[in-house]
Amino acid sequence: MLIDVSDVNTIPVEVKDKIYQSFSALSNDVVNRIKCQNANHNNDILCAIGDYYGTYRTTRFYDELNAILEKHDLVCYHATKVSSKSMLLRDGLKTNDWDVYCSNLKSAYMNMKLPDEEIQKAVDIVKSEYNRKYAGYDRKAQVCFFTNMSMLEGEYAAYDQFCESIGGELARWALKDKYPDLYKPLKENGKSCIVKFKLPYAKIADYEKDDIAYQLVIYYAGVYFWNKEYDIKFDGNTQSDVPPKDILDIIDFNKDIDY
């Protein structure tokens, strides 16, 4: 089943049943302590149930809930800027492994007719930023995603920031302020878009799964204890490539972005 958290009707009933079964087993004292809290926002619900459903407190419950969710796929979104949308249709979404990232960055610059020495200079600078973010922390290459289009734009830095330039945040951090002549071509060329794709829940990074399941618990807690519904919003990452067959749509994003 394909779960789209912007439409709660797509959430399998077995997920709701598992969560409600847990709520119904709570003592009257705990239920009263939860219900006496205000629930005017998602964060209020998080605070109200955190002592009972924080992911560090009920590991068995989350293991069982994740086992249910891993039978299903999740609608996800990835904001990006690419040289051509045809790349996405041909290759899908690749994790930001350095070799793949570097190859795409070089190809973009070559298409813009930058001199070889300038291309190599830019690549070396971005590689230093890549090493700072990934190599020193033993992080694995990944594809980041968000799950509700309402998360795309916001008062502060939101997911539209990844549409600003080819090369994404790494290129922006590495080049924008100190090497504007190398950054400008990446910002002024290419196509900004939002890639909508399906992701098997089982392929979400393991360390993210409990926190993501918790967001569903928070939603159903709002309904169960306060009869209130709030949007389900979360982000995460997968350490797997997304094949072309799993891309559901490529949405043009034509706003001027400048973070």
Same domain flag for 68 and 97: no
Same domain flag for 186 and 82: yes
Torsion sign (Cα): 76, 80, 86, 90: negative
135 belongs to a structural domain? yes
Average pLDDT over residues 197-216: 97
pTM attached to this predicted model = 0.94
162 belongs to a structural domain? yes
Residue 108 CA to its chain's centroid (Å): 24
Q: Which two tokens stand for residue 233?
A: 């919003």
Quick: pLDDT tens for 211-258.
Answer: 999 999 999 999 999 999 999 999 999 999 999 999 999 999 998 888
Same domain flag for 155 and 64: no
Same domain flag for 93 and 116: yes
The DSSP code for 80 is E
For residue 246, which amino acid is it?
D
Same domain flag for 60 and 153: no
Boundaries of domain holding 210: 2-73+198-238
Same domain flag for 68 and 113: no
196, 251 contact by CB (below 8 A): yes
**Per the structure, how many domains does the chain have?**
2
Quick: pLDDT tens for 130-179.
Answer: 998 887 667 889 999 999 999 998 766 689 999 999 999 999 999 999 99
Quick: pLDDT tens for 174-187.
Answer: 999 999 999 999 99
Same domain flag for 19 and 97: no
Residue 97: how many CB atoms within 10 A of its CB? Answer: 15
Same domain flag for 107 and 181: yes
Same domain flag for 57 and 105: no
Same domain flag for 62 and 112: no
Same domain flag for 57 and 116: no
SS3 category, 195 = strand
What length is written for the chain?
Answer: 259
